[in-house]
Chain A
Amino acid sequence: MVDPFAVKDCALIAVATGEYVQTLRELKEKLAAIPTGCIYYHFWGGLLRARFDDPQYQNDFAIWSWRSLHDKTLAERLAVIDPTDFGDLNELRRELIEVIEERLDENELLAWVIPSHGFHFVRSQIVVFDTGRRFSTIDELSTHIVHMSPGTIFYHMIDARRRTPHFKNDFSEWIMGLEEEHQELASRIAGIDPYFTTLRELRDELERVFTAYVKERRG
């Protein structure tokens, strides 16, 4: 018997590291040494903090390249990096460095910015709490998705990628433990792209997948 799905919620608090850079070369060097928590925050933290809903670029490195270095080419190359393509944060770190090195090779003028526009590395702490809500069936869980907070969506869809054995999401992991016949739903949820979106959009997409599946089964 599989345990019911336990709905959790979370909140992030950002912590400045005191590390900051003013040039692209410095960024590359610092990226090689900073904790992976910083890379995580600058790719995913935007989902849970103050940010314009329709940002031109999704991760902080791209935003800085555009807003402060005024290097649109670099910003575009960094923006297209999808963190879900990488097995772990160190792989993602290597890709970032690769892209920056390539740009440094192309552009002999090292871009620099005034101190107030430097890039500041930030990490985060996550507080996870149990909402007390439990769901034993897919039908029950399906009706609750629409009420989930952004924090809940972040925890089960984004944070789960760092916690779960298959680097997926908690919904798919839980469904995989149910009867074999529901594996289709687990794959569909795993197929949702959690990047290039907001948490509310992600919740809506999740709800659509659940609802469609439940409807199909009812015929």
Chain B
Amino acid sequence: MTLLEQYAQIVGEDVIHHLQQLGEHLQGLKVVHVNSTREGGGVAEILHRLIPLKQELGIDARWEVITGTDLFFQCTKLMHNGLQGKRGELHPDYLTEYERVNEMNAESLRTNLEEADIVFIHDPQPAALLRFIPDRRGKWIWRCHIDASRPFRPIWKYLRNFLEPYSASIWSLSEFAQPLPHPLYLVAPSIDPLSEKNIELEEDELAAMHYKWGLDPERPIITQVSRFDRFKDPIGVIRAYRLVKEYSPIQLILAGGGATDDPEGEEMIRWVKEYAGDDEDIHVLLLPSDDHRTINAFQRISDIVIQKSTKEGFGLTVTEAMWKGKPVIGGDVGGIRLQVVDHHTGFLVTSPEGAALRIRYLLKHRDKLKEMGEKAHNFVLENFLITRHLREHLTLMHAIMFENKERIETS
């Protein structure tokens, strides 16, 4: 069965037919995506599926990953945080390394990048590639997966120089976009219902998870899945847990994967473990970045999923949890606001106290919990699956290939 046929079973034949028709005029187009990691993080996950789908539609799509040094990734982590508003000085050595690594990667990817009709560059890490490919013939699009609504200005000013020559950029939400002298497209990210992280799991497998991780199947489980990152506020989640624990015997899972481009994670996890102390009902778990099945199971065995971020790009872990029919208690920030429809698919909160209140409410009103979970699943089905993401990519490719007009009539 082809991938498209498999998706048709989930989203319906008409959705797939729509994609095939959009793809018809893009047959043979050479498209290259470039990012900085093959595993770990939402970007790599999306690309793992978006590329084969584009290929199945007849597009010559490829995925390239740049390589870098520790110093390079420290620099790009600072850039990532800087785009999210965190102050941090980019030492000249960092900048030299950033440009050197991009130049080096440009050398090894040159033929592919020069020949491509469309190049998608993901996030700041490979953003400087364009400068080192002067003989490019296609359109270059910078895809920002980060909430850059209020960036640390010196970092943005530095990056902007590399971004201005792009033909367009893509942002997850209009609130995240920074002015640039080209069209700023808006494309929300998505999840893949067929991936290890989201496929249905058997009851036996879920039951085994309780045993494996020392979880009590009789007591409620609250879970936050995310990288160990200050903006995900894991400390705030533990505080919320403690406020609920006074009334209900809940268990808390804080699970996150590592990513090769995130050197801060380990330091953060030490801090979180220290704060959790010796409470046996708090499970702080640093999982391998490819352990998608465990993440999937954690989300499925949870009663409620939390994403108490204080800054968030889009929040794909929210989408994943909703797909599994879980109501989400999320921070009132970024893309979480687009997904968690307050009082319908979950609750938006701004404090540990708010999160605790909503957890208690949902544990008390199980009918409401179930109803919200169902609404959440349907909301994702209609709006946040990879098929919608693919449709917008195809639309955008038309828009950028066939002039930047308000109306594009394909013949």
Residues in A whose Cβ lies below 8 Å from that of B333: 116
Interface core residue of B15, B171, B178, B185 (most chain A CB under 10 Å): B185
CB < 8 Å neighbour of B22 from A14, A122, A123, A127: A127
The segment from A48-56, A90-98, A102-110, A180-188 that touches chain B is A48-56
Residues in B whose Cβ lies below 8 Å from that of A120: 174-175, 177
A11 and B394 contact, Cβ closer than 8 Å, known pairs A127-B22, A149-B15 = yes
Give A49 to B187 CA distance when docked, in angstroms.
10
Q: What is the interface size of chain B, counting residues whose CB is below 8 A from a CB of the partner?
A: 48
In A1-46, the 8 Å CB interface with B consists of 9, 11-18, 20, 37
Check if A50 sits within 8 Å of B388, measured CB to CB.
yes
Check if B379 sits within 8 Å of A15, measured CB to CB.
no
What is the minimal beta-carbon distance from B251 to any residue of chain A, in angstroms? 31
Give A17 to B178 CA distance when docked, in angstroms.
10
Check if A126 sits within 8 Å of B408, measured CB to CB.
yes
Closest to B378 in A: A53
CB < 8 Å neighbour of A125 from B18, B24, B178, B407: B407
Interface core residue of B183, B333, B388, B394 (most chain A CB under 10 Å): B183
What is the minimal beta-carbon distance from B253 to any residue of chain A, in angstroms? 28
Check if B150 sits within 8 Å of A127, measured CB to CB.
no
Chain A interface size range = 35 or more
Give A37 to B407 CA distance when docked, in angstroms.
11
Check if A126 sits within 8 Å of B406, measured CB to CB.
yes
Give A149 to B404 CA distance when docked, in angstroms.
25
Chain A 108-140, CB-CB to B under 8 Å as 1, else 0, gives 000000011010111111111111000000000
A130 and B344 contact, Cβ closer than 8 Å, known pairs A11-B392, A50-B388, A149-B17 = no
Check if A129 sits within 8 Å of B17, measured CB to CB.
no
Give A110 to B211 CA distance when docked, in angstroms.
57
Check if A11 sits within 8 Å of B391, measured CB to CB.
yes
CB < 8 Å neighbour of A16 from B177, B384, B391, B405: B177
Residues in B whose Cβ lies below 8 Å from that of A149: 14-15, 17-18
Check if B395 sits within 8 Å of A11, measured CB to CB.
yes
| B179 within 8 Å of A (CB atoms) | yes
Interface core residue of B174, B187, B404 (most chain A CB under 10 Å): B174
Give A154 to B388 CA distance when docked, in angstroms.
16
Check if B149 sits within 8 Å of A116, measured CB to CB.
yes
| A147 within 8 Å of B (CB atoms) | yes
In B371-411, the 8 Å CB interface with A consists of 378-379, 382-384, 388, 391-392, 394-396, 398-399, 404-411
* A-B contact sample (8 more), CB < 8 A, given A37-B406, A50-B382, A122-B186: A14-B186, A15-B183, A18-B178, A50-B338, A115-B149, A125-B408, A127-B395, A129-B410
Question: Which residues does B use to contact A, with CB under 8 Å?
Answer: 14-15, 17-18, 21-22, 24-25, 149-150, 171, 174-175, 177-179, 183-188, 333, 338, 341, 344-345, 378-379, 382-384, 388, 391-392, 394-396, 398-399, 404-411
24 A-B pairs (CB sep. < 8 Å): A11-B392, A11-B395, A14-B186, A16-B174, A16-B177, A16-B186, A18-B177, A18-B184, A20-B174, A50-B338, A52-B341, A52-B344, A115-B149, A116-B149, A116-B150, A116-B175, A122-B186, A125-B395, A125-B399, A125-B408, A126-B408, A127-B398, A129-B409, A131-B21
